[in-house]
């Protein structure tokens, strides 16, 4: 059991999606996250154990490497693909309630901003840490965020902006959220955003990188 979980975590860490995937070159022809997760379930390993001891472990390593600039966006995206391949096998267990997520996280790129790479990196890191992520996409109006919070009142919220011209829209979104749901927890991030701006607009946390967002969520 331990060996299978370790191999799945390794596949997530290095972005080995499945046996047919040529990446990474030193794992060519070997089973990937897809096959190994199926094998683990067939061997009787619980889905919750696979999530916590393989996927979360693998993504934690990836997040730390990214924070330390030992890997970059392409490697992160390959790890995301490997994790998603494994998650597909676990979805029935999420839906049945057999596997409990840590909580819900709503994420969106604010109105007027069409950039999604940063958002997607945070999304997959948080999902890989055991949270259920509700991705609203890009160019999201405050009304849509508010409606989603209404449907998921315990969810934490993450807002992303890459353009300085959309920072005002981030402020508008935070103000709208706090006005209707003052107890909500809002994380913000993106290239032009910093700690001072986070405090200025009334958000709860500034995440400079995906691992920072994961650490904050896990701490609360």
- The per-residue pLDDT for 128 is 87
CATH of the domain at 26: 1.10.1240.10
Average pLDDT taken over every residue of the chain: 95
CATH of the domain at 157: 3.40.50.280
Per-residue DSSP letters for 110-160? BTT----HHHHHHHHHHHHTT-EEEE--SSB-HHHHHHHHHHSTT-EEEEE
pLDDT tens column, 110-132? 999 999 988 998 998 999 889 99
**96, 114, 138: which is the final residue of a domain?**
96
pLDDT tens column, 29-46? 999 999 999 999 999 999
pLDDT tens column, 181-196? 999 999 999 999 999 9
| DSSP type of residue 99 | S
Q: What are 107's strand-pairing partners?
A: 135, 158
Please, what is the Cα angle at 78 between 75 and 80, to 5 degrees?
110
Same domain, 77 and 118: no
Number of domains in the chain: 2
Instruction: Identify the three-state secondary structure at position 107.
Output: strand
pLDDT band of 2, cuts 50, 70, 90 = very high
pLDDT tens column, 50-60? 999 999 999 99
- The per-residue pLDDT for 67 is 87
């Amino acid at each position: 059991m331990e060996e299978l979980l370790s191999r799945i975590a390794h596949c997530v860490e290095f972005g080995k999606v499945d046996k047919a995937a040529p990446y990474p070159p030193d794992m060519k022809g070997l089973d990937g996250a897809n096959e190994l997760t199926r094998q683990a379930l067939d061997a009787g390993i619980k889905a919750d154990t696979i999530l916590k001891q393989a996927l979360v472990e693998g993504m934690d390593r990836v997040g730390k490497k990214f924070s330390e600039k030992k890997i970059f966006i392409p490697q992160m995206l390959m790890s995301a693909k490997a994790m998603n391949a494994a998650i597909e096998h676990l979805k029935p267990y999420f839906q049945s309630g057999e596997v409990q997520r840590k909580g819900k996280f709503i994420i969106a790129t604010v109105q007027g901003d069409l950039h999604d790479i940063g958002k997607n990196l945070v999304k997959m890191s948080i999902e890989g840490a055991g949270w259920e992520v509700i991705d609203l996409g890009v160019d999201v109006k405050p009304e849509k965020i508010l409606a989603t919070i209404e449907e998921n009142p315990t969810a934490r919220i993450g807002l992303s902006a890459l353009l300085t011209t959309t920072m005002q829209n981030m402020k508008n979104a935070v103000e709208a959220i706090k006005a209707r749901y003052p107890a909500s927890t809002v994380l913000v991030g993106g290239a032009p955003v910093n700690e001072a701006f986070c405090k200025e607009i009334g958000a709860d946390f500034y995440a400079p990188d995906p691992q920072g967002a994961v650490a904050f969520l896990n701490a609360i």
